Amino acid sequence: MSFKELGISRETIQQIESAYEKLYLKSRSLNATYEQQEIVLNKLIEDLVENAFERVVAEDSEIKGTNSELVDLRDKILIEIRRMIEKNRSRLDNEAGYLKLDSAQSNAEFMLQYEVENNLMDETEPSLEFIINCLKQMNGETNSICILSDKSFSYIQCAGSTERLTIEYRKYTGKKFKHYVIGFKKFFKSRTTIYFSSREISLKSNEVFCLDNAIEIFKNFYLKQEIPKEYALRNITNKMI
């Protein structure tokens, strides 16, 4: 059931939409694990639901239901807010990532974000040796993410362990981008899964790399800001918008 079907005014709907987007971006701006960000987001959503519920009741003098009916209305508002967040999660994650890079990177040529004990760390102007060392520490559990971005905010990111990882490439032109999964140029491509930090990602078998491949790709991006031509790029931009 949509906000409109719940009888909520257009003005209140617009305020809720604006509020949940700001709260989502606020939760994603934290230097914390994904799970910690989700805890913060859930608390912010609870506060938003309370405020939205109070506004709806205040602006509709005909709402005089029983306590159970009012609780039901509150639950429906919560469900609709969560539905809107899931619908727009990819877009908001992209915006949050861009804003975080814009804030942290400033005029730096490169910035590396890497996971240590499930916490995302930042290193401005990392040396190639530092980047390679971070890749060597990837274990698929507590140290399983590395993201190297340049001053245009284009980046490569990998997730997984040194034995089995996935690598993605995002190319920015202004605020517009194209996003790719990097793979080997092979004809046979079955589906497989990579696990990292209590999460998982589905991809094709030709898109699974080892440490040596990751070092080669990251080194090439660091020195030339491009992906080696011997690798294939699968465009998944439409899934990121």
Mean pLDDT across 208-222 = 96
DSSP string of 165-190, one letter each residue: EEEEEEEEETTEEEEEEEEE--S---
Mean pLDDT across 183-209 = 88
Question: CA dist 18 to 27, 48, 53, 74, Å?
Answer: 15, 11, 16, 19
Q: Cα–Cα distance between 24 and 35 in angstroms, integer?
A: 14
pTM of this prediction exceeds 0.75: no
Q: What percent of the chain clears pLDDT 70, i.e. is strictly above it?
A: 85
For residue 161, pLDDT over 60 is answered with yes
Looking at the DSSP bridge assignments, the partners of residue 157 are 147, 168
Amino acid at position 104, single letter: A
Is residue 179 packed enough to be buried (19+ CB in 10 Å), middle (13-18) or exposed (0-12)?
Answer: buried
Phi then psi for residue 180, to 5 deg, are -130, 150
Angle at 171 between CA 169 and CA 172, to 5 degrees: 145
pLDDT digits (tens, 9 = 90+) for 70-104: 777 778 888 888 888 777 776 677 677 666 655 55
CA dihedral sign, ordered 95, 96, 97, 102: positive
Mean pLDDT across 46-58 = 79
Mean pLDDT across 137-159 = 91
Rg of the chain over all Cα atoms, to the nearest angstrom: 21
Residue 63's pLDDT band (cuts 50, 70, 90): low
The rounded Cα 24 to chain-centroid distance in angstroms is 11
Residue 210's pLDDT band (cuts 50, 70, 90): very high
